Structure 1
């Protein structure tokens, strides 16, 4: 049984390694087995690649299952399926020959349908050449629908789930079209929404839209039976835009060199200076601290927040960045001891993994 929400870094890591990661591994093995059966070669390749290279997204997201009480396994089931859809579609949009925004929109309709048990599944590949996936994407969608269908008080979270998903889908659509249209589309989208996020730039808003953390938090509280309208609103306001923005900005931060080599869009490139970027990251860290302390299980949410800082800045890619070490050192100092704890654990994990692979 796993019903107690961790309140310390040690109890959190113990629950994650003993309960959450093994459950995630089981779910991912199931979806990997299904992906191997996809008839179309391109779809099969991208499905397997997304699981192989992005499984840490599922592991990180599944930490929120600790909020679901005795129904934590159902939370893991949903989180792995939903995150697998996200990572699979990201691969299809990022690495496919299609640059059609209508194709990307139809593909991402699957993410809205996954959050809406009343929606019927569709032919999500209708606007692209590669189509036959042996019902892989539909099965992922229906798995998510099944969990939500059996969740009490789901009406309290629906509007927030759909708002978060809509922003996520729009980001993916705008950032994957032809190169010349990407920035104009992203800035126009921001102009239509900046009244909601007056403290953010267009690229910070785009980053905040690109995280699934708020969705996982809402779903897990709903499964626990504790979610009401007031809590749903508090979660949305606590996670969007600052927690989610920090999450994705850190992700882009460590990928700067990699994205430069690949010619991919990176939101950190739009800060006018390294000093300004560090200043804005500090702003996101402080704002997230202020927001999450108002939630129940505030210690857990703070650990997730500081865990993001520690985990991302512990990535080996930080060493490849100009001023990377100095910026990471300053941000860890601002975030405090918990962030340093997770940072140290991340570095140990990478070191052990490297030694294991060298044997």
Structure 2
């Protein structure tokens, strides 16, 4: 009777080992003070940073949604890892947490070592931009669950905050100003709608010219990471809202107390060309609920600090203010 191996069942242990060897230098490139040990143990270890009076550990997890479908179909795999890190650490800093380390989960039908290595290279780059360490992860080869070419990603960021600094909502007052930090494009939200409009409704192709380069390059532009801006301007920031799924109208109210409203000047928003293209077939209200519309992060700032923040946050601009009213964000 013939014997069946794990490889016959669709799981290649040798490929997994080869992948681990490939990513060791990538993981090492993200090392920051606090990392204990290296890749290969059962768990990653990180020493609690010093200098906090009442340290609180914060954690955030996310994926990159159907943006992965474009990466898989186009064969461009080295940017979605940056997106994965960005979606997690950009949430973390909104609670005034400084990212410390990151872990990833990569699941696929059949492990392609080169593809997986490119994905992790992006994750490592995202960690470098976030000044945090990649200290572990999991690779799952799951034939029958995913098709051979498909893969999925999940990310997990952990950081530390000072307990006294975490409650930002109570600090927001009427008269505070709203400053936009620009997005790099769609970031990692709204791709199901974008794909339907661009490739089904408009019948566009990945390689169609869009503003002087292939459309796919614009769509796969990685999410901006705002960690360094946060660190540099922390003392001048009252609150922060990461503009992800739900757009400005659903994310900005998360930093508002019950008696205050955020008024955003729609005409002030520097909408990117990709949103102008998609909006040809999507209602304006739906655009503002599905996409960031060019605004990746909104800072709430005291009026006296506006000029300093605008001078020190690249590409930033004023888009509105906090006023008395119901807890909501309105476009005016």
What TM-score, normalized to structure 2? 0.30
Higher relative CO (Cα under 8 Å, sequence separation at least 6) belongs to 2
Structure showing greater radius of gyration is 2
Higher helix share: 1
Higher strand share: 2
